[in-house]
């Protein structure tokens, strides 16, 4: 086709993308005006009511309070108020102690000379919320709990190179790695490093893990304790009487789940019915209108968080030994690189980012989006419907029967595309559907409630099961050293029935070249060599179209004007220092 023909094709693709955004925005504005926002029992802000209570809105409702059994950030946010890791990274990428007395180093003897050991010294006189002492045995037990294959833990990628975890004494725990390990700071650090009490969970290791009462009534060392939990609905917290730190400014926390992002934002920004709302993904124009209410403001915490499209490399429509999306099967067309390239070229990331995210996001072209030193300069993004169609033609995917859908060897290019119920994600789906159908694919959209989608992996509609062709959600790296994040595409991390769908490689992607680089990464100590290797791994995933990066996005948080002393970091839950928050 000549240049003008290509121009017209690209122009119409862009036009239809913008048309869908405008049309869907009208619907959301109408819904925004019709729906009532979450309300409190009083007209005053929550921080002024109930004797110093604080109301938190999580429209993606938590369903479990054990972070090692959760696939959703919502559960980790709620768990972090009760449970703690040994250490966490602050906003300056500095590792700071939490349950540890200090950060291990060569100088204090915490880091072994050969790079195979790290020894943590724990804080003295720390108690669990039930009054039992916290010791190194709890740290060692947490590893035993999550490393047991029958437990089906979702955090194992942070602990893969460990040979042993030993409680040397009550206040000292020694981790021995199977080889010199540059990423020694990943186990027991950050949100996947939260420690479980041995005396509470010791009878629930392995197959009984998900039946433990403490999954919903946790015992922790954090500033708060749970006094009531209705999964998918409400959590009531009160201060932990045994917490070692300063007492909280709030006598009661109420975390309310359910609803939608817009009504949660309205409750904080416009009506003052709540103090804080997490992950309020909504269109920029709607947020700006709500902020004009004067009750609060938005905080955008840019994290190593990226909205992406996951490809299913297995066949979701074929069952093997009672399991769909078995790693033993191959997807009938997404297994072809040319098809994945065509889909990537057909998606208008710029329109999605500008119209649906605004200042809360930027176009993503990489798997690693933070920290800056590991972000590849070698990738790019192109939206070209004409080239996408040509790739499919060349690969033999044409509409041979005239029904408007491309096919080959009797296989129609029918796609089931899933995501969580979320207005921004659902409108992203609509734009992508229009893009893909313009090049001859048939796309069916499905959205699943977040409590199910990011809930129990046993549910066939969960993201971990991935019984669809494409799915859309965000994933992030929990530490500035993204070794565990790179495990998302490791062959031994494939989510399957035998591991209770607890592994993170839900795409079932397995590439020997990538595996070799993963092995090399685990053996590379030199910082410059690690930087070059991580960029090379990123570039391999992007070149192979193992995924489609869409938007490098922030955590959009709605914060009441009544709150003070807030502290957020890209590397942990927004609740990591909630006990230091104050009320103005």
Instruction: Write down the residue that tokens 């089931």 correspond to.
Output: 416
Same domain, 65 and 204: no
Quote the domain boundaries for residue 45. 40-81+222-295+561-584
How confident is the model over 523-582, as pLDDT tens digits? 898 999 999 999 999 999 999 999 999 999 999 999 999 999 999 999 999 999 999 999
What's residue 161's pLDDT?
A: 86
Among 158, 142, 66, smallest CA distance to 493 is for 158
Could you tell me which residues come within 8 angstroms of residue 129 by beta carbon, excluding any fewer than 6 positions away? 82, 219, 220, 221, 222, 225, 240, 241, 242, 243
Same domain, 246 and 392: no
For residue 406, what are the CA distances in angstroms to 299, 393, 439?
45, 9, 9
Among 475, 480, 473, 474, smallest CA distance to 569 is for 480
Rounded Cα distance between 477 and 359, Å, is 21
Rounded Cα distance between 529 and 371, Å, is 16
CB 150 within 8 A of CB 142: no
Return the sign of the alpha-carbon dihedral for residues 325, 326, 327, 332.
Answer: negative
CB 212 within 8 A of CB 66: yes
State whether residue 178 is helix, strand or coil.
Answer: coil
What is the DSSP annotation of 272-319? -S-SEES-----HHHHHHHHTTSSEEEEEEEEEEEEEEEE--SEEEEE
CATH code (residue 108): 3.90.76.10
* Per-position b or e across 467-498, b if 16+ CB within 10 A of its CB: bbbbbbbbbbbbbbbbbbbbbbbbeebbbbbe
What's residue 139's pLDDT?
A: 98
Residue 515 placed within a domain: yes
pLDDT category of residue 417 using cuts at 50, 70 and 90: very high
Average pLDDT for 436-444? 98
Could you tell me which residues come within 8 angstroms of residue 24 by beta carbon, excluding any fewer than 6 positions away? 427, 430
Same domain, 249 and 312: no
Instruction: Judge whether residue 43 has pLDDT over 70.
Output: no
CATH code (residue 283): 3.40.190.10
Instruction: Judge whether residue 26 has pLDDT over 80.
Output: no
Residue 35 placed within a domain: no
* Per-position b or e across 117-131, b if 16+ CB within 10 A of its CB: bbbbbbbeebebbee
Same domain, 453 and 406: yes
Same domain, 312 and 449: yes
Rounded Cα distance between 340 and 470, Å, is 11
Rounded Cα distance between 490 and 161, Å, is 13
Residue positions counted in the chain: 584
What's residue 183's pLDDT?
A: 87
- What total of structural domains would you count in the chain? 3
What's residue 224's pLDDT?
A: 97
Helix (H) or strand (E) holding 549: strand 547-560
Residue 401: CB atoms within 10 Å = 10
Residue 198 placed within a domain: yes
Residue 102 placed within a domain: yes
- In sequence order, the β-bridge partners of residue 96 are 88
For residue 416, what are its two tokens?
Answer: 């089931």
What's residue 18's pLDDT?
A: 40
How confident is the model over 288-325, as pLDDT tens digits? 999 998 899 999 999 999 999 999 999 999 999 888 99
Residue 58 placed within a domain: yes
Rounded Cα distance between 421 and 427, Å, is 10
Instruction: Judge whether residue 405 has pLDDT over 70.
Output: yes
Same domain, 204 and 261: no
- In sequence order, the β-bridge partners of residue 363 are 551
Residue 34 placed within a domain: no
What phi and psi, each to the nearest 5 degrees, are found at residue 286? Answer: -70, -45
How confident is the model over 129-180, as pLDDT tens digits? 999 999 999 999 999 999 999 999 989 888 988 999 999 999 999 999 998 8
Q: Which of 193, 215, 237 is the last residue of a domain?
A: 215
Rounded Cα distance between 81 and 575, Å, is 6
- Report the range of poorest mean pLDDT among 16-30, 132-146, 416-430, 540-554: 16-30
Rounded Cα distance between 354 and 46, Å, is 34
Same domain, 386 and 519: yes
Among 541, 535, 468, 484, smallest CA distance to 511 is for 541
Same domain, 545 and 570: no
Among 201, 166, 209, 218, smallest CA distance to 187 is for 166
State whether residue 55 is helix, strand or coil.
Answer: strand
pLDDT category of residue 42 using cuts at 50, 70 and 90: very low
Q: Which of 215, 230, 262 is the last residue of a domain?
A: 215
Residue 307 placed within a domain: yes
Same domain, 409 and 524: yes
Same domain, 398 and 543: yes
Instruction: Judge whether residue 213 has pLDDT over 50.
Output: yes
Rounded Cα distance between 285 and 279, Å, is 16
For residue 417, what are its two tokens?
Answer: 């595309």
**Residue 560 carries which DSSP code?**
E
Q: Which of 156, 189, 215 is the last residue of a domain?
A: 215
Residue 33 placed within a domain: no
What's residue 14's pLDDT?
A: 42
How confident is the model over 85-141, as pLDDT tens digits? 999 999 999 999 999 999 999 999 999 999 899 999 999 999 999 999 999 999 999
Return the sign of the alpha-carbon dihedral for residues 376, 379, 380, 382.
Answer: negative
Residue 376: CB atoms within 10 Å = 18
pLDDT category of residue 8 using cuts at 50, 70 and 90: very low
Same domain, 77 and 88: no
CATH code (residue 432): 3.10.105.10
Same domain, 350 and 236: no
């Amino acid at each position: 086709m000549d240049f003008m023909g290509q121009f017209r094709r690209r122009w119409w693709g862009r036009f239809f993308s913008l048309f869908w955004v405008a049309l869907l925005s009208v619907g959301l504005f109408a819904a925004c005006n019709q729906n009532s926002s979450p309300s409190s029992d009083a007209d005053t802000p929550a921080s002024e009511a109930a004797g110093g209570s604080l109301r938190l809105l999580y429209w993606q409702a938590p369903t479990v309070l054990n972070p090692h059994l959760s696939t959703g950030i919502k559960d980790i946010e709620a768990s972090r108020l009760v449970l703690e890791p040994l250490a966490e990274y602050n906003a300056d990428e500095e590792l700071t102690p939490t349950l540890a007395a200090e950060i291990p180093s060569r100088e204090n003897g915490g880091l072994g000379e050969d790079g195979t050991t790290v020894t943590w010294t724990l804080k003295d006189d720390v108690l669990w919320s039930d009054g039992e002492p916290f010791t190194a045995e709890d740290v060692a037990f947490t590893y035993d709990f999550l490393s047991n294959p029958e437990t089906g833990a979702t955090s194992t990628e942070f602990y893969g190179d460990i040979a042993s975890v030993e409680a040397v004494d009550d206040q000292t725990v020694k981790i021995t790695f199977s080889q010199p390990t540059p990423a020694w700071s990943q186990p027991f650090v950050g949100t996947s490093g939260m420690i479980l009490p041995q005396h509470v969970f010791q009878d629930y290791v392995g197959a009984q893990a998900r039946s433990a009462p403490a999954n919903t009534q946790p015992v922790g060392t954090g500033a708060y304790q749970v006094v009531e939990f209705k999964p998918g609905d409400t959590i009531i917290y009160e201060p932990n009487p045994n917490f070692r730190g300063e007492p909280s400014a709030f006598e009661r926390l109420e975390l309310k789940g359910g609803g939608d992002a817009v009504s949660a934002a309205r409750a904080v920004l416009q009506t003052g019915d709540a103090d804080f709302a997490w992950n309020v993904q909504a269109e920029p124009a709607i947020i700006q209108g709500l902020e004009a209410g004067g009750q609060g403001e938005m905080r955008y915490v840019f994290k190593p968080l990226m909205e992406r499209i996951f490809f299913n490399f297995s066949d979701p429509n074929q069952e093997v030994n009672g399991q769909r999306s078995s790693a033993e099967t191959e997807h009938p067309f997404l297994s072809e690189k040319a098809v994945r390239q065509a889909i990537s070229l057909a998606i208008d990331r710029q329109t999605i980012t500008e119209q649906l995210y605004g200042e809360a996001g930027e176009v993503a072209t990489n798997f690693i989006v933070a920290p800056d030193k590991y972000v590849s300069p070698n990738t790019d993004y192109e939206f070209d419907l004409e080239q996408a169609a040509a790739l499919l033609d060349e690969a033999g995917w044409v509409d041979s029967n005239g029904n408007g859908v491309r096919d080959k060897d009797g296989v129609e290019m029918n796609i089931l595309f899933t995501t969580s119920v979320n207005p921004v994600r659902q409108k992203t789906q609509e734009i992508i559907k229009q893009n893909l159908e313009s090049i001859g694919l048939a796309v069916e959209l499905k959205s699943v409630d977040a409590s199910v989608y990011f809930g129990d992996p046993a549910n066939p509609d969960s993201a971990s099961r991935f019984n669809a062709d494409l799915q859309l959600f965000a994933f992030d790296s929990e530490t500035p050293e993204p070794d565990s994040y790179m495990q998302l595409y490791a062959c031994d991390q494939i989510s399957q029935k035998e591991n209770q769908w607890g592994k993170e490689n839900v795409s079932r992607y397995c590439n020997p070249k990538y595996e070799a680089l993963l092995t090399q990464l685990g053996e590379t100590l030199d910082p410059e060599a690690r930087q070059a290797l991580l960029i090379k791994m990123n570039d391999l995933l992007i070149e192979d179209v193992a995924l489609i990066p869409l938007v490098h996005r922030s955590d959009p948080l709605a914060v009441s004007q009544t709150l003070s002393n807030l502290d957020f970091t890209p590397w942990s839950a927004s609740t990591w220092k909630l006990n230091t928050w104050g009320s103005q």
